[in-house]
Amino acid sequence: MGPRRSGKTSIQRVVFYKMSPHETLFLESTNALDIKYVANNAFVQFQIWDFPGDVDLRGELSYGGQPVSEQVIFGASSALVLVIDAQDEPYQEAVMRLVEIVRRAQAVNPNISFEVFIHKVDGDLFLSDEHKIDCQRDIQQYITEELNDANLDVSLSYYLTSIYDHSIFEAFSKVVQKLVPQLPTLENLLNCLISNCNMEKSFLFDVVSRIYLATDSNPVDMQSYELCSDMIDVVIDVSCIYGMRDDGANAHDGAGSNRGEESEGMAYDSESSSVIRLNNGMVLYLREVNAYLALVCLLRADNFHKKGLIDYNINCFKAALSKVFLGGADQQQLLRPALEQEGQFSSSPRSREQR
């Protein structure tokens, strides 16, 4: 939700449908509720409701000829993304509208997660990080004051975003991670993997959207994240030229019937892998671990000489990942075996010495 021309639809198209940021300039304003289904794999399965900027929650809102009430909108929602145009000053009107939406949403669903995207922090107005931080501080202060005046005790998360860099993918990654109940288990598995393989950083990416669903407990360095994210595009682009099968078959066809259009025919299957050696002595290593899921690791070249051992540990990680996401009623029973799988990881001699 957010004001008209704040960039709501552009965010959705860039992140989930691989639209070029420059193409979004020609998108028309959203005049009616638009619902998209995202089902790339076992991790990423949800709906995105894109509301028109002038939506009146007190009035009549419909979808497919059926009325949509506040109870329907907020009752089953896990996260509410509120977009504010950072280039549209003054912010008071947008903030007041945001607080009213928060008030109505919390009254219906106290467990909903509120995510504020301070969007369009690009161009001449935001040439330095200082300007971006000042903008976030001003908007955050306005919102806090309005929430206090309305006696609302609500926790909001704030993100500075732009469709012209990786910030929008980073922000959506944080939002989606809150919707993954298995996140602690995934983090434990990744921590065990990087510890035994002497890796610097690891990310579990959704290949279609380039959202990372989990990472290890080491701090996220934005430059490392950008390298790992860009590697997915490199692998897909090169595979489309040189790696497509003659029969056009795809090992993951049927993994998600409602995947984005761009995922159909994507040159990515169970054999996908790639190694990129950087000129700073680091290595990027990508491996397929599940349907349209990729493990992207960053490690020093000195620690990559035992690639067979690293592959063995990644295969153990894949096996544990499959057990965690068999899903359904048996999922809780499978969490413990998945964690026990960590004990099968093999350590290099250097890892054992460090311990």
SS (H, E, C) 167-201: HHHHHHHHHHHCCCCCHHHHHHHHHHHHHHHCEEE
With CA atoms as reference, report the closest residue to 324 among 233, 188, 167. 188
Rg of the Cα atoms in the chain: 22
Domain membership flag for residue 308: yes
Do 47 and 172 fall within a single domain? yes
Q: How many domains does the chain have?
A: 2
322 inside domain: yes
Same domain, 67 and 142: yes
Q: Which of 150, 177, 204 is the last residue of a domain?
A: 177
**Residue 286 structure tokens:** 């990508």
One domain for residues 256 and 197: yes
Residues with Cβ within 8 Å of 34's Cβ and at least 6 positions away in sequence, in order, are 9, 49, 50
pLDDT at 109: 94
Kindly state whether residues 114 and 232 are assigned to the same domain.
Answer: no
pLDDT of the residue at 350? 45
Nearest to 208 by CA among 247, 153, 241, 250: 250
pLDDT at position 336 is 42
Whether residue 161 is found in the same domain as residue 23: yes
The pLDDT assigned to 269 comes to 63
Shared domain for 156 and 209, answered yes or no, is no
Flag whether 200 is in a domain: yes
Residue 88: closest CA among 16, 192, 2, 18: 2
Both tokens assigned to 102: 């928060």
CATH number assigned to the domain comprising residue 277: 3.30.450.190
Joined tokens for residue 109:
């669903």
Question: Of 163, 60, 172, 45, nearest to 113 (Cα)?
Answer: 172
- Among candidate residues 120, 148, 177, the one where a domain is terminated: 177
How many residues can be counted in the chain?
355
Q: Which segments within the chain are labelled E, that is strand? A: 34-39, 45-50, 62-63, 66-67, 79-85, 113-119, 156-160, 199-206, 212-215, 273-277, 282-290, 293-300
* pLDDT at site 273: 84
Task: Report helix, strand and coil shares of the chain as percent, to nearest 5.
Answer: 45, 20, 35
Q: 338 and 325 in contact (C-beta within 8 Å)?
A: no
Q: What backbone torsions phi and psi does residue 213 show, to the nearest 5 degrees? A: -90, -20
Query: Which CATH number goes with the domain that contains 111?
Result: 3.40.50.300
Tens digits of pLDDT across the chain (355 residues): 999 989 999 999 999 988 999 999 898 888 889 999 988 877 778 899 999 987 888 777 888 888 888 999 999 899 999 999 999 888 999 999 999 999 999 999 999 999 999 999 998 888 888 999 999 999 999 999 999 999 999 999 999 999 999 999 999 999 999 998 889 999 999 999 999 999 999 999 998 889 999 999 999 888 899 999 999 888 888 877 776 555 545 545 444 444 444 444 455 666 778 899 999 999 999 999 887 899 999 999 999 988 999 999 999 999 998 888 775 334 344 434 444 444 455 665 444 444 3
Residue 337 located in a structural domain: yes
Q: What is the pLDDT of residue 166?
A: 94
Query: Do both 343 and 227 map to the same domain?
Result: yes
Please tell me whether residues 310 and 246 are part of one structural domain.
yes
The domain of 81 spans 8-177
pLDDT of residue 213: 93
pLDDT for 30 equals 87
